[in-house]
Structure formats: structure tokens, C-alpha cells
Chains A and B, each alone.
Chain A
């Protein structure tokens, strides 16, 4: 299968995302420049982390209107798999592909550390290679990672299995509502998370747990020669 990794001005985790995708058996990855529109031959999209458009105005606010994001919105609307990581999560929320928004961390500080993340819902196209309740060791690095959604929305998300990942008890790094680390849309084909699975794909950096998300996305996807 072929992953497409979106690249905005200011994106910085695109190369790691490509590396992570390519560590999955039978998968390849290509970069998608924000000013282009074509998703031809792409089976799944990753919107990676960084500081798209310098985080000007509001995180993710300007990236959301780029030509490539228009194509990604159409791709997602047609049921395509889209994973947003950190700034990518913020962009997908701004684009209306995911419920809620990301607010500045309660501590107002940039947090950069390894966190324990519990797989709340392992029955998704993003986590099906995980065991239910499995705890993944993945780093976070962000200043604006406090997930917020109105209470009624949170209840609906909880009821529909849209809360995919939570920070382990007492490990919430940013004050996110209900310790939420990753969520899906109602259609269950778009996911966003603040932790960086693409930085946890090699024992050299302490964990390979992040690979399970990319491997999950590849399961059931078409093989490519």
C-alpha cells in the first residue's frame, strides 16, 4: 500500500512519518506538497507534526485551507483513512474532519517526554494491530495539546468508541479533557493524536510501539508491487 504524507511550510516530522510508514511490510510512502492537489494512487494519508504556516493565528488554522487539504477533506469524505499527528491533529480539527479543538497546555509549557498511552479502542483501522488496553510508550512534544470538546460531544464520542487513546492515569501531560490522547471522527476513518508514533519506530530511540498504528492502517489495504 502507499501512504501519502502531507508537507506544509513549517512541517518538521514529515521525514520521520515517511520512515515510519516504510517500516511496515509492503508499504511505501510519498510526500504530498501542500500546494499540490493529487492523491492519485494514495491509499492512506498522514498529516504529520510540525508548525505548519508558523502556527500563525491559531495552530492549524491556515494549513487547513491549503489546496492539498481540500483534496484530503474530499478523500476523507469518501471514506479514505487519514491520520493526523500533533500539528496534523490540530489541522484536522480545524478542517472539521475531527470533533473538538486543541488548546494551550494547562502548564503553558512545551512538554517533551515519553508518555504511556492506553489503547481504549482496538477495533479501529488505526489500532487493530494493538491489543485492547495495550499501553504504548510514545513521545509527546507540544505546547498546544490540551484536547477540548463540549461535554455533550465528549459523551457522544465515548458512546460511539471515538476515544481511541488515553494518557495512562496520572500521566496527562497537557490537561486534556478525560485524559484524551487520540480521537476518531464519527465515520471512524479519520484519527488524530497528540503523541508521535512516528518517533517510536526504532529501539534506538527507546520504543517501537508507534509502528502498531502504521501497521494497523496497512492491514487490509491493497498490496503494491
Chain B
């Protein structure tokens, strides 16, 4: 089955990429945008979906600095 994993910087950890994008937007005429955060999207197919959680914890995310969210269709 197909699955998606969204990986984000943990709340409270400075995300300079998000800040850089947020600061670029007003110059392009987009105002009122805040809380921009940049993470990663991993798409994968697994035969056994119970493996997703350990896959995320072990490799896809570093739980010290990142949160992950598994999306199964």
C-alpha cells in the first residue's frame, strides 16, 4: 500500500528556511502570511503498514528535531 510521511521541524526549533520564505513573500505582494515552516515529504509503498512507525522513528525522521505524520490513504 501507498503511504506518505510528512516530516516537519519540531515546534520551537528555529526554522531559518521557513523564516526566509516568510520574509520573501511581502516583497512579492503577498501580505498576511505567517508561520511558514518547511519540511519533507516522503512517499513510499509498504507491504506491511505496521512497519511505517518504526521506519519513521529509525530513519526518516530524527525525533529530537523533527515531528512526523504518517498518512495512509
Residue of B nearest to A103 (CB): B65
Beta-carbon contact of A103 and B17 below 8 Å: no
For chain A, residues 19 to 74, give those with C-beta under 8 angstroms from any C-beta of chain B. 57-58, 61-62, 65
For chain A, residues 158 to 180, give those with C-beta under 8 angstroms from any C-beta of chain B. 175
Residue of B nearest to A65 (CB): B59
Beta-carbon contact of B14 and A175 below 8 Å: yes
Name the contact of B16 in the complex, choosing from A61, A104, A148 (C-beta under 8 A): A104
Known: A57-B59, A61-B59. A106 touches B64 (CB 8 A): no
Q: How many residues of chain A are within 8 Å of chain B by beta carbon?
A: 19
B60 close to chain A: CB less than 8 A: yes
Complex interface: chain B residues within 8 A of A175 (CB): 14, 16
Q: How many residues of chain B are within 8 Å of chain A by beta carbon?
A: 12
Name the contact of A101 in the complex, choosing from B14, B59, B64 (C-beta under 8 A): B64
B1 close to chain A: CB less than 8 A: no
Interface-centre pick from B20, B40, B59, B62 (highest chain A CB count, 10 A): B62
A-B contact pairs, 5 of them (CB 8 A): A57-B59, A101-B62, A101-B64, A104-B16, A108-B17
Q: A residues within 8 Å of B by Cβ?
A: 57-58, 61-62, 65, 94, 100-101, 103-108, 146, 148-150, 175
* Top 8 A-B residue pairs of the complex, sorted by shortest distance between their CB atoms: A101-B65, A108-B16, A101-B64, A106-B16, A101-B62, A108-B20, A104-B16, A58-B62
